[in-house]
Structure 1
Amino acid sequence: MDSLYIFGLASQRTSYLAQRQTLVAENVANVDTPGYTSKDLSSFTEALDATSLRMARSQATHLAALDSAAGNSEVIDETPWNVKHSGNSVSLPQEMLKAGEVSREYALGTSVVKSFHRMLIMSAKG
């Protein structure tokens, strides 16, 4: 059986979320800076796809729903909502949405790690 590095993966995702939150804060801080361009990170999924970590199937029917969903998805480049006359492309509503995404993803990640940790403790006791 292959080793499962869920805690390492969760740690890397938390680092990614911290970096993304830093960029969101930087964008908000420069909302009135002339010529400032909004910055963001590529998604964690894209970064993970560039690694050697792949999902494996024990049967062809496992994860079949993901195959059909992946065929219908399309990658769209994100464009700023508005560009001011000064050339600044930071949109506060867009940055607040990004901050909310980071917060939700962090809460989900910590919940998953907490549940996995509880399961690991219970299996060690039993």
Structure 2
Amino acid sequence: MDPVNLFDLASKQSQWLSVRQSAVAGNIANANTPGYVATDVEPFEKVLDRSPMRMSATQSGHLGGITQAAYVAKPQEYTGALMPSKNTVVLENELLKAGEIRRSFELNTAIVKAFHAMMISAVKG
């Protein structure tokens, strides 16, 4: 039996959140580095829009092919006042993003746990 699509979606979001968390942590770590440009990843909604839903092959005669999307941290557009050091990191924004990432991880985990419990209940009857 192939994995349910919700588990695949949750896995992709977890990977995306990990990359975003690394980007935010790097921004915070370089907050005092002269000339450092803050980075972030594109929103998960855009990643989903780029990767359309695919049908899964349930029989050997079906065509298939799954590719993994790459999540890359890119420099953010910065419109605020530039620091004398030309650093674009705003710690308050980065800390807000860190909190948002934590909440998203918790929500993702809660949804997977609930769906897993429903699957177990359905199998047990």
TM-score band by shorter chain is 0.7 to 0.9
How many Å separate the matches in 2 of 1:122 and 1:81?
A: 52
Equivalent residue number for residue 15 of structure 1: 15
Report how far residue 41 of structure 1 moved.
0.4
Equivalent residue number for residue 96 of structure 1: 95
Closer/same/farther in 2, CA of residues 37 and 122 from structure 1, 3 Å limit: same
Percentage of matched positions with identical amino acids: 42
How many Å separate the matches in 1 of 2:32 and 2:44?
A: 29
Report how far residue 8 of structure 1 moved.
1.3
Q: Which amino acid aligns with 1:102?
A: I
Closer/same/farther in 2, CA of residues 15 and 80 from structure 1, 3 Å limit: farther
Deviations 1:32-72 (A, max 9, x none): 11110000000111101001128xxxxxxxxxxxxxxxxxx
Secondary structure, counterpart of 1:32 in structure 2:
coil
Q: Give TM-score, length-normalised by structure 1.
A: 0.75
How many Å separate the matches in 1 of 2:81 and 2:94?
A: 12
Report how far residue 82 of structure 1 moved.
4.1
Equivalent residue number for residue 41 of structure 2: 41
How many Å separate the matches in 1 of 2:22 and 2:53?
A: 26
Maintained 8 Å contact 1:37/1:88: yes
Q: Which amino acid aligns with 1:11?
A: S
Closer/same/farther in 2, CA of residues 78 and 115 from structure 1, 3 Å limit: farther
Equivalent residue number for residue 70 of structure 2: none
Closer/same/farther in 2, CA of residues 20 and 93 from structure 1, 3 Å limit: same
Superposition misfits of 4+ residues, deviation over 4 angstroms = none
Closer/same/farther in 2, CA of residues 88 and 51 from structure 1, 3 Å limit: same
Equivalent residue number for residue 116 of structure 2: 117
Equivalent residue number for residue 85 of structure 2: 86
Q: Give TM-score, length-normalised by structure 2.
A: 0.76
Q: Which amino acid aligns with 1:117?
A: H
Work out the number of aligned pairs and report it. 102
- Give unmatched runs, 5+ long, in structure 2: 55-75
